[in-house]
Amino acid sequence: STTQSKFGGSSMYFDGTGDYLLMLPSIALAFPGDYTLECWVYLNSVSGNQGVYSSIDNSIDSNQGIAISFSGTSFLATSYISGGDAITHQTAVTTGQWYHLAMVRSGSTTKSYLNGVQSTGTTTSTYSLTQSGSTIGSAYPGTNPLNGYINDLRITKGYARYTATFTPPTTAFSVY
């Protein structure tokens, strides 16, 4: 959509009625160690639960994975094994503005950041997602759809880009 964008003049638009992107399970989508998930999100609504990114390890069962989402006005980063731990940001989000979201695992510690500010919570886990299937714009597989826009989604495997409070990117990510 060209209605809203943080960078580049367009973004992915999700209307909150069940549209999403699905990536089938693959070793390429596995998260065996350190990782960084990040994107810019613009919400049209702050009601209910809305998934931004979800990755489920189908080689084990559907109760193991990682997700970034919103529950009402709260940003959640979840690293879970059979229910697991959610990191909830206390800063309330609103509609009509861009937010930079990041979820980072370094070693066995997972942290989340909203606009570069680290949440007070962390989770600890040593499991590896080995055959992940992923969704963008909803929780897996297509529940809790997003009503808003996603721009500059970046997944970095093998590297924890942020380990403390940081300044969010001020330009689009480089394409190479």
Q: What is the 3-state secondary structure (H, E, C) of 20-35?
A: CEEEEEEHHHCECCCE
Instruction: Average the pLDDT over 140-148 and give the result.
Output: 87
Rounded distance between C-alpha atoms, residue 22 and residue 142, angstroms: 8
Out of 3-17, 57-71, 142-156, 159-173, least confident range: 57-71
Rounded distance between C-alpha atoms, residue 64 and residue 135, angstroms: 14
pLDDT tens readout for residues 152-163:
999 898 999 999
Instruction: Average the pLDDT over 85-108 and give the result.
Output: 87
User: Which has the closest alpha carbon to 38: 144, 150, 125?
Assistant: 150
pLDDT tens readout for residues 73-94:
988 887 765 555 667 777 889 9
**Residue-level pLDDT at 60:** 53
User: Which residues on adjacent β-strands are paired with residue 111?
Assistant: 104
Rounded distance between C-alpha atoms, residue 44 and residue 51, angstroms: 13
Mean pLDDT of the chain: 85
DSSP state of 120: S
User: Which has the closest alpha carbon to 172: 141, 148, 151?
Assistant: 151
Beta carbons within 10 angstroms of residue 107's beta carbon: 11
**Residue-level pLDDT at 141:** 73
**Residue-level pLDDT at 38:** 95
Q: Dihedral angle at the C-alpha atoms of 27, 31, 34, 38, nearest 10 degrees? A: 110
